[in-house]
Amino acid sequence: MNSLVTFIWPTLLWGLVAVPLLVLLYVWLLRRRKQTTLRYASLGLVKEALGARRGWRRHVPPLLLLTAIIALLLAAARPAALIALPMTQETIVLAMDVSGSMRATDVQPNRLIASQEAAKAFVADLPRDVRVAVVAFAGTAAVVQAPTLSREDVYAAIDRFQLQRATAIGSGIVLSLATLFPEAGIDLSQITGQRNMPPGPNDKPKPEFKPVPPGSYTSAAIILLTDGQRTTGPDPIEAAKMAADRGIRVYTVGIGTKEGETIGFEGWSMRVRLDEETLKTIANLTRADYFYAGTAADLKKVYQGLSNRFVVEKKETEISGLLAGFGALLVMLAAGLSVWWFGRIA
């Protein structure tokens, strides 16, 4: 959006053409009244009747009324402005890649440490009433910290990351959704490798699922960080569709090598490549954003930007009601002053 204010019905702005005509009409009426007063035999009687105090005051009510008309015309065009509003997120899930390639040192001191430090700084900047959960994923996914208000517990969970082989991005998303909706009965069999047990006689029936518009659930969000592409687990695009159907935004952060390269450490090597297209698709499907971080400094900036986004949200909001109220207030003020000063509405 290039401008601060836009209009939903801009054609109604043509009504402002009437404003100069009203000014000309007012000037014409003043001159006509002046010519009428010249017909009196004595101008002194006119001045006495009008009173010296009526000089500049007689122009105030018409000026207020003209301003009110402008405000009402603008309100009729339905203006909308970008307004910073407090975010309503209650829970943020950090879904973080802990695959072996996170040892790579192309992001100093290495990808894992850089992501840990950036994530902890992000959590520190969040409002204190926002709960944070941490999901770590590699070949499988695990909740290393359930949603909590304790920042110290979140920091400790991030510091306890243990690197594993393979990358299951879809598992990270699905388990994050199950963490946000524990009563939804989300199937975790592809993640845990165990079949879901049939419901017992005392188990609550699985609630009926009704999809909602993507991005419409404002009480939670997922931030997904990875440095590679899926090698196992559920399809991340299908997992993203699950998130979209629940209204959850999944902000994706890519770290490491875009082009792909062979990374070697501790006597073995592996080929890694950041799957940006998949991460962009996940973000688009869930009405969120994708960010790339090629360095530790970039990663910190990404998390700082996300932190600011979760503190306040810039939202396009229609303000026609405010302008209409302002216009009505000016009309009442103009009428009140006219009655107070002159004893009538004129």
pLDDT averages per 10-residue partition of the chain, 346 residues:
69 84 80 65 53 64 84 85 64 93 84 92 88 94 95 96 91 95 83 56 68 91 91 94 96 82 64 85 95 87 79 68 84 79 67
Q: Quick one: fold of 87-190+210-294?
A: Rossmann fold (3.40.50)
pLDDT at 134: 97
Q: What is the pLDDT of residue 133?
A: 96
Cα 318 to Cα 80, 213, 310, distances in angstroms: 4, 21, 22
Residues 6+ apart with CB under 8 A from 153: 145
In the chain, where the domains are located: 5-83+318-342, 87-190+210-294
Question: Which residues have a Cβ under 8 Å from the Cβ of 258 and sit 6 or more positions away?
Answer: 273, 274, 276, 292, 294
pTM for the whole structure: 0.65
pLDDT at site 2:
44
No. of helices (H) and no. of strands (E), the chain: 11, 11
Q: What's the rounded Cα separation, in Å, for the pair 284 and 278?
A: 10
**Both structure tokens of 324:** 């209409």
Please choose, from the candidates 97, 96, 110, the residue with its C-alpha nearest in 3D space to the C-alpha of residue 266.
110
Strand partners, 243: none
What pLDDT does 114 receive? 92
Q: How many CB atoms lie within 10 A of CB 195?
A: 8
Q: In this predicted structure, what is the pLDDT of residue 239?
A: 96
Token pair belonging to 154: 């979140």
